[in-house]
Amino acid sequence: MSELVRALIGDSAATPPSHILEGVSEDLARRPVPSAPHTIYDELWHITFWQQVTLDWVNSIETPFPMHASAGFPDKNDHEPWEQLCRRFYHGLEQAAEFANDEGRLSQKIRCPSRPGHPVRRMTVREQLESLVAHNAYHFGRIVLLRQLLRSWPPVSGGFSW
């Protein structure tokens, strides 16, 4: 397994996503934490949103960059069940890992729309997947912190506790 794949799905620099999400119930996922701007559900929805945008761009679908940051988070009326959201996330993660395993595609240049008013960026598939890894790591760190504050960390499979 390459380090890029390991960073996406495995135990690389941080706890794997499967461990971070392990044991999270619908109730826990949607439980607000005082002073935190988002719930665990919101954070995973956001990760899944940007993961899909990345997959679109890698597949030459120029999904536009959202006009506002709020478009990358669920609205308060989102009723997608937690388990369904997790399935969507894992399905997209498998697709991203397949791209990361395809050495022939990693150097392919793709167009990645930018924030409104900025020029379209061109980067390699590898660069876009590395960006996804960094983005996921940031938001999974937030999920771990939320789980710690909700006293639901570490999961049974383990996770860094420092």
Is 160 among the domain residues?
no
**pLDDT band at residue 5 under the 50/70/90 scheme:** very high
Instruction: Provide the CATH number for the domain around residue 52.
Output: 1.20.120.450
Contact between 6 and 12 under an 8 Å Cβ cutoff? The reply is yes
Whether 77 is in a domain gets the answer yes
pLDDT tens, residue by residue, 118-158: 999 999 999 999 999 999 999 999 999 999 999 999 998 87
Rounded to two decimals, the pTM is: 0.94
The pLDDT value given to residue 11: 81
Q: What is the C-alpha R_g of the chain?
A: 16
More confident residue, 161 or 98: 98
Answer yes or no: is 23 within a domain: yes
Distance of CA 2 to the CA centre of its chain: 19
Evaluate if residue 102 carries a pLDDT over 70: yes
Query: Which residues span the domain enclosing 89?
Result: 3-149
In a domain, 157, yes or no: no
Check residue 151 and give left, alpha or beta (phi > 0: left; psi -120 to 50: alpha). left
Asked if the model's pLDDT at residue 77 lies above 70, the reply is yes
pLDDT at 161: 61
Question: In the chain, which ranges are continuous DSSP H helix?
Answer: 3-9, 17-21, 26-30, 40-58, 82-101, 103-106, 125-149
Judged on CB neighbours under 10 Å (0-12, 13-18, 19+), 29 is: buried
Contact between 104 and 111 under an 8 Å Cβ cutoff? The reply is no
Report the domain count for the chain: 1
161 lies in a domain? Answer: no
More confident residue, 41 or 14: 41
